[in-house]
Amino acid sequence: MIVIIDYGMGNLHSVYKAFKRLNANVVASSFPDDIEKADRLVLPGVGHFKKGMKTLNKLGLIETLNKAVLKKKIPLLGICLGMELLTEFSEEGNSKGLAWIDAKTLKFDMKNGFKIPHMGWNSVKVSKKNPIFSGINPEEQFYFAHSYYVSTKDKSIISSTTKYGVEFVSSINKDNIYGTQFHPEKSHANGLMLLKNFVNL
């Protein structure tokens, strides 16, 4: 069973629909029991980093997620804000994150002449082998919608990068933890392939 973590932040419905298109056994839930029983977890998100962390804490889900992902090693996919929440800290609200990866979430520098938020299709350059990119060409385009990006010195967790004013991390993988800054649920055939690969891990 795939459990999409329902913490009231954004794009849950479109993520759910994408998994249903793959005929996956999927539910959206904020109940700790469901999360701990899941075969796969998805942390979606559109919105403010600090609010996201506060909501996860208010729902009592941070301890549950730490147990499920770090101890039980249930595969988790963080999407957009969901990936940013995996980092140690974000400039958005100067807030601490889940700290599952050695990275920070930074705001795009608007001085470079690029419009913020970064919205639309952009190439994703796959830089290391990652099972969720299986069968996808290494520089395919995916759909983005974000004003912040993940930055890390730990190159071992970087699966792909994208250029938009700066080169930023567009996907990560560390053990059973996966993340995409782009929205696979809005990225047509390539996005569905990526989600299918996650289901089949």
Selected catalytic residue, list 13, 63, 80, 167:
80
**Catalytic annotation on 118?**
no
Selected catalytic residue, list 84, 92, 140, 185:
185
Name the residue type at position 87.
T
DSSP designation for 103: -
Report the b/e string of 161-189 with b at 16+ CB within 10 A.
bbebbeebbbbbbbebbbbbbbbbbbbee
DSSP designation for 175: T
**Catalytic annotation on 80?**
yes
Task: Spell out the alpha helix ranges (H) of 22-70.
Answer: 32-37, 49-58, 61-65
How far is C-alpha 104 from the geometric centre of its chain's CA atoms?
14
CA angle 12, 147, 150 (to 5 degrees): 85
Report the b/e string of 107-124 with b at 16+ CB within 10 A.
ebeeeeeeeeebeeebeb
**Catalytic annotation on 185?**
yes
Selected catalytic residue, list 118, 146, 183, 188:
183
- The residues assigned a catalytic role are 80, 183, 185
